[in-house]
Amino acid sequence: MSLLLGFLLLLLMLSLHYSPTSSAATDTVSPGHALAGMSDRLVSNNGKFALGFFKTVSDNSSSYTSRNSYLCIWYNKLPMVTPLWSANGESPVVDPASPELTISGDGNMVILDHVTKSIVWSTGVNATTNDTIAVLLNDGNLVLQSSSNSSMVFWQSFDYPTDSLFIGGKIYRNKVTGLNRRLVSRKNTIDQTPGLYSLEFDISGVGHLVWNSTVIYWSTGDWDGKFFSLAPEMIGATIPNFTFVNNDKEVYLTYTITKETAITRAGIDVNGRGIIGVWYDNLQNWLINYRMPILHCDVYAVCGPFTVCNDDNNPFCECMKGFSIKSPKDWDIEDRTGGCMRNSPLNCDFTMNKTGLADRFYHMQSITLPHNGMNVQTVASQDECSEVCLRNCSCTAYSYGKSGCSVWHYDLYNVRQQSDGVADGNWKSLHIRVAANEMQTTERKRKSGAIIGVGTGAGIGALILMIILIVFWRRRQKWFACGVEINAQEGIGVTAFRYIDLQRATKNFSERLGGGSFGSVFKGCLNDSIIIAVKRLDGTRQGEKQFRAEVNSIGIIQHINLVKLIGFCCEDDKKLLVYEYMPNRSLDVHLFKDNAKVLDWNVRYQIAIGVARGLAYLHSSCRDCIIHCDIKPENILLDASFVPKIADFGMAKVLGREFSHALTTVRGTIGYLAPEWISGTVVTSKVDVYSYGMVLFEIISGRRNSSEVHFEDGGYSAYFPMQVARQLIDGAIRNLVDAKLHGDVNLEEVERICKIACWCIQDSEVDRPTMCEVVQFFEGILELKIPPLPRLLNNITGGSHPTSLLSIDLQ
Ligand SMILES: *[C@@H]1O[C@H](CO)[C@@H](O)[C@H](O)[C@H]1NC(C)=O
Ligand SMILES: *[C@@H]1O[C@H](CO)[C@@H](O)[C@H](O)[C@H]1NC(C)=O
Ligand SMILES: *[C@@H]1O[C@H](CO)[C@@H](O)[C@H](O)[C@H]1NC(C)=O
Ligand SMILES: *[C@@H]1O[C@H](CO)[C@@H](O)[C@H](O)[C@H]1NC(C)=O
Ligand SMILES: *[C@@H]1O[C@H](CO)[C@@H](O)[C@H](O)[C@H]1NC(C)=O
Ligand SMILES: *[C@@H]1O[C@H](CO)[C@@H](O)[C@H](O)[C@H]1NC(C)=O
Ligand SMILES: *[C@@H]1O[C@H](CO)[C@@H](O)[C@H](O)[C@H]1NC(C)=O
Ligand SMILES: *[C@@H]1O[C@H](CO)[C@@H](O)[C@H](O)[C@H]1NC(C)=O
């Protein structure tokens, strides 16, 4: 069984086949002209929209065929049906009944069961004329109007949006009457039944994503004239041009498009996320360029009850231990409202404790607690807390910690596993109540060494769509398709390559430029002109992680000092990343290799500034804070003019806007690792500052900090950063500079760079400057004091090799 990622909404759309009819279509339903059966349809006058009965027909890869047909509006010219609106989501026409759309005697537009003539759905208005007709307008609005006077409109589909916002349609709230025209998600990827998620405005003009009309899990923030404060990406969504109106009477959001011919989709997807997408002809598919929230697990109850959500996993929903999926076939079509259910019923008899049959708890660590916990005041120990829970049969979990005892009753929602390396200090542990025999089975399983595997699911399509997502929610949009470069004139260019093309471009991966734990990098040539570097990641899970991390971070950013991702390839287990080629290789080659061209001081200084700018951008200028986590000379590439470009984002971590998250699992390279990695305290972007400081020392000395040369006397006092710190105080920096430069340096710059380096490697992250401050130091905007000796260095009294000092087991 492979559960599908949210992105598969799109993939599933691919499987919604229909065959366009050639019969001359009209745009009007009138008493004399009904719309009958599955092939009949209305087409708007401009040919853009179609209205008809629609049923999801499965292809051979999916076992689902809906028996329900719905009256839907979709884009007429697309080769697949993407329903934008449906009339009878709650009352489908069920096979074998055949549907018919007509005007009833009372002037309403109705859906009839063709055979019994019973009304399945009706516009339900009181028309004041007896000559009503239904017309599908050019903007996709279906209106019920008087045939003699088209400005007498009695009903229109724009007033009853489903999950999509049409161009010109509105998400609307009337502040006087309370009328709330919201978008409502579909329940699953097959049917048009309304789901639990909605996108709506409150009376103050803030948009919300809401679960089951009660729980707000994401908000837009206030409108600032161009975009919502918490959704700044909207402004860059080049296609939609949003208009937001908020006055005494009403609040609404609508959009237009600047490019007439563009085909867009905006709305709420089956997983409760707001989306904006564009149809892409060359790709013959939708590209969703904006999703909010970005993480599935940020959507309330996205996995249903008794589940654990983790965006790092594929699938991202799993059952808690002792539970299994209630309805796997619903999960397959992304309806997880049923969540998971107990494998064994609870015993609930507290007095059975002695017999060993009483319910037990198992411990889940590093998770976020479910919503709606009840705090129990009078409890002083974990045992008591557990007892409180055991005594009430509806209690399903408890947590005991600094804030006392909390218990949960009935369904547990929103338990979220700490995702890879990210912590915001709120990770807790929870004790889940299960029947006694569940604990025995899991214990037995563990003893016998059975590993409860986690299906990794069918990831490739999802991965590609993930990339699409990530790449596309950026402000400057980049369109791409598999193997085709799109809209190159618009300066856009993250391309999805075919494996075979990259194989050809690299002459079957013949010219290896370098490699690492991730795989290898090869030189290649596109169209006989553009030289590229192709990084081939190995097929393991680690490779996949790196791939995601890399596209995640670098796919969304652009800066002169960051290496540019040209494209990628993702076929089966083949994962490749394509970068611009850097003729001057990496910084380590020039600094440390004996036969390399010696970089003169000016170039070194410019490299130091460039790297600082690139990091400053990563940390603060782009939307999310990206921590590179592996700054070292190997990852600083040099272009033809020796402009530095930070590369290798395989360990990078994208942190949320609020910066409250921090990393916990160690990543990076020994020798450049900040002490907080080792001490296990909270880790922030300051780890990059530390590593950067270490690199600065190497730029100055032209040697590895850990190089044996510095330890000829066997003492730690010779450790270069230590020397620099000392000499700065003593004022003898000239001796520190790489001898290969023969003293041809700017001493003022040397001093500045030495000071910066020493500040960057301060033990406490709060003492280190931010990268922005580092840039300002370089620019002379901020003045630099003499840095104190880093304590870590100062405390060392010789004999110990710094690398061993900083050595820790990374795995
Ligand atoms: C499904 O499979 C059958 C036979 O296996 C084939 O004839 C048919 O064309 C397939 N349909 C699709 C949509 O692939
Ligand atoms: C239609 O008219 C009837 C009787 O006049 C009234 O009860 C009903 O509320 C009206 N319906 C609508 C939708 O206006
Ligand atoms: C509709 O109403 C008009 C007058 O309002 C009347 O002349 C006409 O016969 C009616 N048509 C039908 C089909 O009932
Ligand atoms: C059409 O209907 C509108 C709105 O009810 C009305 O103002 C207008 O006078 C009508 N036009 C004609 C030609 O009847
Ligand atoms: C959603 O809300 C309704 C009414 O408040 C409630 O009956 C229903 O159980 C809720 N759905 C879920 C899945 O909790
Ligand atoms: C966006 O829409 C508004 C209102 O429709 C229009 O005035 C404005 O020119 C549009 N902006 C662009 C860039 O097309
Ligand atoms: C239940 O029994 C276990 C051992 O069987 C014991 O450790 C525990 O304290 C008992 N709990 C209560 C609440 O009596
Ligand atoms: C169990 O807890 C629920 C929810 O707090 C409460 O409504 C119920 O009365 C409790 N039952 C017993 C037996 O205490």
Nearest ligand 7 atom to the CA of 387 is 13
Q: Which residues line ligand 2 (CB under 6 A)?
A: 124-126
384 lines ligand 7 (CB under 6 A): no
Atom 13 of ligand 2, nearest CA residue = 125
Nearest atom in ligand 5 to 301's CA = 13
User: Looking at residue 337, what is its pLDDT?
Assistant: 93
Q: What is the pLDDT, as a whole number, of residue 493? A: 45
pLDDT in tens, 144-188: 999 999 999 999 999 999 999 999 999 999 999 999 999 999 999
Q: Select which of 630, 648, 738, 763 is catalytic.
A: 630
Query: What pLDDT, on a 0 to 100 scale, did the predictor assign at position 143?
Result: 97
- Find the ligand nearest to 14 CA: 1
**Helix axes 601-616 and 686-701, enclosed angle (nearest 10):** 170
DSSP lists the bridge partners of residue 626 as 654
Q: Which atom of ligand 2 is nearest to the CA of 124?
A: 13
For ligand 1, atom 6, which residue shows the shortest CA distance?
60
pLDDT of residue 61: 46
Q: Which protein residue has the closest C-alpha to ligand 7 atom 1?
A: 353
Whether residue 599 is predicted with pLDDT greater than 80 in this model: the reply is: yes
Structure tokens at 516: 């690492």
What's residue 136's pLDDT?
96
Residue whose Cα lies nearest atom 13 of ligand 7: it is 387
Indicate the top mutation candidate among 348, 396, 405, 409 to test ligand 8's pocket, ranked by most ligand atoms within 8 A of CB.
409
Q: Give the count of alpha carbons within 13 A of 235, CB side only.
A: 11
Examine the pLDDT at 621 and tell me if it is beyond 90: no
Q: Which atom of ligand 7 is nearest to the CA of 386?
A: 13
pLDDT top residue among 9 and 504? 504
Regarding the domain delimited by 165-294, which CATH topology (the fold level of the hierarchy) does it fall under?
A: Agglutinin, subunit A (2.90.10)
Measured at the CA of 156, the angle between CA 153 and CA 158, to 5 degrees, comes to 140
- Residue whose Cα lies nearest atom 9 of ligand 8: it is 392
- How far, in Å, are 146, 199, 272, 413, 675 from residue 194 at the CA level? 30, 13, 12, 21, 52
**298 classed as catalytic:** no
392 lines ligand 8 (CB under 6 A): yes
Distance CA 611, CA 617 (A): 10
Tell me what pLDDT residue 656 has. 46
The residues, ordered by sequence, that sit 6+ positions from 166 with a Cβ below 8 Å of its Cβ are: 84, 85, 139, 140, 141, 158
Cα 352 to ligand 7 centroid, rounded to whole Å: 10
- Asked if the bond preceding 370 is cis, omega within 30° of 0, the reply is no
Helix (H) or strand (E) holding 415: none
- The larger pLDDT score, comparing residue 313 to residue 120, is at 120
Q: What pLDDT score does 658 carry?
A: 38
DSSP bridge partners of 164 = 267
- Protein residue with its CA nearest to atom 11 in ligand 7: 353
Quick one: pLDDT at residue 487?
A: 30
| Closest atom, ligand 1, to C-alpha of 59 | 13
Mean pLDDT of 215-225: 86
So what's the pLDDT on residue 553?
59
| Ligand in nearest proximity to the CA of 372 | 8
pLDDT averaged over the chain?
Answer: 78
Q: What is the pLDDT of residue 516?
A: 64
Better-scored residue on pLDDT, 552 or 391: 391
Q: Helix axis angle, 601-616 relative to 747-760, nearest 10°?
A: 40
Closest residue to atom 5 of ligand 7, CA basis:
354
Tokens at 301, concatenated: 């109850």
pLDDT for residue 262:
77
Residues 6+ apart with CB under 8 A from 384: 405
* DSSP secondary structure of 321-351: TTEEES-HHHHHTT--TT-EEESS-----GG
**Separation CA 357–CA 388 (nearest Å):** 17
440 contact partners, CB below 8 Å, separation of at least 6 = none
Question: What is the H or E stretch that residue 687 is in?
Answer: helix 686-701
Pocket test for ligand 2, best of 126, 128, 156 (most atoms within 8 A of CB): 126
Select the highest-mean-pLDDT range: 363-377, 688-702, 775-789. Answer: 688-702
How far is the C-alpha of 315 from the C-alpha of 319, rounded, in Å?
Answer: 11
Q: Whose CA is nearest to atom 7 of ligand 4?
A: 151
The predicted-structure confidence for 698-749, as pLDDT tens digits, reads as follows 999 888 886 654 444 444 455 677 777 777 767 777 778 888 888 888 888 9
- Rounded average pLDDT over 774-803: 64
C-alpha 356 – ligand 7 centre gap (Å): 9
- Rounded to the nearest whole angstrom, what is the distance from the C-alpha of residue 415 to the centroid of ligand 4? 58
Mutate to test the pocket of ligand 7, among 353, 360, 361, 379 (most ligand atoms within 8 A of CB): 353
Pocket of ligand 6 from Cβ distances under 6 Å: 241, 243, 256, 258
Quick: pLDDT tens for 289-308: 677 887 788 899 999 999 99
Q: Which ligand lies nearest the alpha carbon of 374?
A: 8
Relative to the CA of 60, which ligand 1 atom is closest?
Answer: 1
Decide: 212 in ligand 5 pocket, CB within 6 A. Answer: yes
% of the chain at pLDDT higher than 90 = 36
Spatial distance between the Cα atoms of 743 and 738, rounded to a whole number of angstroms? 8
CB-defined site of ligand 1, < 6 Å: 59-60
Contact by Cβ (8 Å): 651, 542? no
pLDDT at 217: 92
Residues with Cβ within 8 Å of 489's Cβ and at least 6 positions away in sequence, in order, are none
Rounded distance from Cα 664 to ligand 2 centre (Å): 63
Out of 143, 146, 148, 152, give the residue to mutate to test ligand 4, the one with the largest number of ligand atoms within 8 Å of its CB.
152
What confidence score (pLDDT) does residue 540 get? 59
What is the CA(267)–ligand 5 centre distance, in A?
23
Ligand number, closest to the Cα atom of 123: 2
What atom in ligand 2 is closest to the CA of residue 126?
1
Which CATH number is associated with domain 473-581?
3.30.200.20
Q: Which of 340, 418, 404 is nearest to 373 (CA)?
A: 404
- For ligand 4, is residue 128 a contact (CB within 6 Å)? no
pLDDT band at residue 365 under the 50/70/90 scheme? confident
Looking at residue 769, its pLDDT comes to 92
**Residue with the larger pLDDT of the pair 706 and 343:** 343
d(CA 44, CA 632): 60
Compute φ and ψ for 533, nearest 5 degrees.
Answer: -115, 125
Q: 149 alpha carbon to ligand 4 midpoint, in Å?
A: 6
Is residue 328's pLDDT more than 80? yes
**DSSP calls for 349-395:** -GGGGGGT-S-EEEEEEEEEPPSS-EEETT--SHHHHHHHHHTSTTE
Dist CA 476 CA 644 (whole Å): 23
Inter-residue contact 555 to 467 (CB < 8 Å): yes
Q: State the CATH architecture for 17-160.
A: Orthogonal Prism (2.90)
Neighbour-count burial of 352, counting CB atoms closer than 10 A to its CB (0-12 exposed, 13-18 middle, 19+ buried): middle
Q: What spacing in Å lies between the alpha carbon of 205 and ligand 6's midpoint?
A: 20
Least confident of 46-60, 429-443, 505-519, 642-656: 642-656
* DSSP structural state of residue 586: B
Going by alpha carbons, the residue nearest to atom 3 of ligand 8 is 394
User: Residue 358 CA: which ligand 7 atom is closest?
Assistant: 1
Tokens read off for 628: 């590179």
375/418: higher pLDDT: 375
Distance in Å, CA 392 to ligand 8 centroid: 6
Give the pLDDT band of residue 458 (cuts 50, 70, 90): very low
Q: What is the mean pLDDT of residues 466-472?
A: 38
Backbone φ/ψ region at 334: left (φ over 0), alpha (ψ -120 to 50), beta = left
Helix ranges (H only) for 178-314 are 233-236
Whether 62 shows a pLDDT value over 60: the answer reads no
What is the rounded CA–CA span in Å between residue 650 and residue 542?
10
CA of 135 from ligand 4 middle (Å) equals 18
Nearest CA to ligand 8 atom 14: 392
CA 355 to chain centre: 48
Token pair for residue 181? 């025209």
pLDDT interval class at 447 (50, 70, 90): very low
Residue 421: partners with Cβ closer than 8 Å, 6 or more residues away: 653, 663, 664, 665, 667
Centre of ligand 5 to C-alpha 327, Å, is 18
- What is the reported pLDDT for 499? 86
Radius of gyration of the chain (CA): 31
Q: What is the pLDDT of residue 618?
A: 83
pLDDT at 16: 41
Q: Which is higher by pLDDT, 423 or 738?
A: 738
Residues 180-198 as b/e (b if ≥16 CB within 10 A, e otherwise) read ebbbbbbbbbbbbbbbbbb
| CATH number, domain 584-810 | 1.10.510.10
> pLDDT at residue 465 above 90?
no
Cis check: omega of the bond before 328, within 30 degrees of 0: no
The two structure tokens encoding residue 709 = 């040369």
- Is residue 387 in contact with ligand 7, taking CB distance under 6 Å? yes
Euclidean distance between CA atoms 171 and 267, whole angstroms: 10
109-113 β-sheet, strand order: 35-36, 99-103, 109-113, 119-122
Distance CA 649, CA 536 (A): 14
Strand 495-496 and strand 565-571: the pairing is parallel
Look at residue 484 and tell me whether its pLDDT is greater than 50.
no
Pocket residue to mutate for ligand 1, from 17, 60, 65, most atoms within 8 A of Cβ: 60
pLDDT > 70 in the chain, percent: 73
- Beta 153-156 vs 41-43: how paired, if at all? unpaired
Residue having the nearest C-alpha atom to atom 9 of ligand 7: 383
What is the predicted pLDDT for the residue at 619? Answer: 84
Q: Which ligand is nearest to the CA of 152?
A: 4
Per-residue confidence (pLDDT) for residue 799, from 0 to 100: 30
**Contact present, 299 and 272 (Cβ < 8 Å):** yes
- Which residues are bridge partners to 484 per DSSP? 481
Other CB atoms within 10 A of residue 656 CB: 16
Choice between 517 and 269, residue whose per-residue pLDDT is larger: 269
Q: Name the residue at shortest CA distance from atom 3 of ligand 2.
A: 126
Least confident of 224-233, 509-518, 545-554: 545-554
Could you tell me if the CB of 621 is within 6 A of ligand 8? no
535 marked as part of a ligand binding site: yes
Q: Please tell me the distance between residue 759's alpha carbon and the centre of ligand 6 in angstroms.
A: 49
The three-state secondary structure class of 634 is helix
Q: Domains of the chain: which residue ranges?
A: 17-160, 165-294, 307-440, 473-581, 584-810
> Is 173:179 a contact under the CB 8 Å cutoff?
yes
Query: Could you say which DSSP state residue 229 is in?
Result: T
**Identical fold between 17-160 and 165-294:** yes
Whether residue 749 has its Cβ less than 6 Å from ligand 7: no
220: number of Cβ within 10 Å = 22
In sequence order, which residues have a C-beta less than 8 Å from that of residue 70 and are 6 or more positions away? 53, 54, 55, 83, 86, 87, 88, 89, 92, 93, 191, 192
Q: Which helix (H) or strand (E) holds 291?
A: strand 285-292
Question: Which ligand is closest to the CA of 59, given by its number?
Answer: 1
Categorize the per-residue pLDDT at 319 as very low, low, confident or very high, splitting at 50, 70 and 90.
very high
**Residue 287, pLDDT score:** 66
User: pLDDT at residue 193 above 70?
Assistant: yes
Closest-approaching ligand to the CA atom of 244:
6
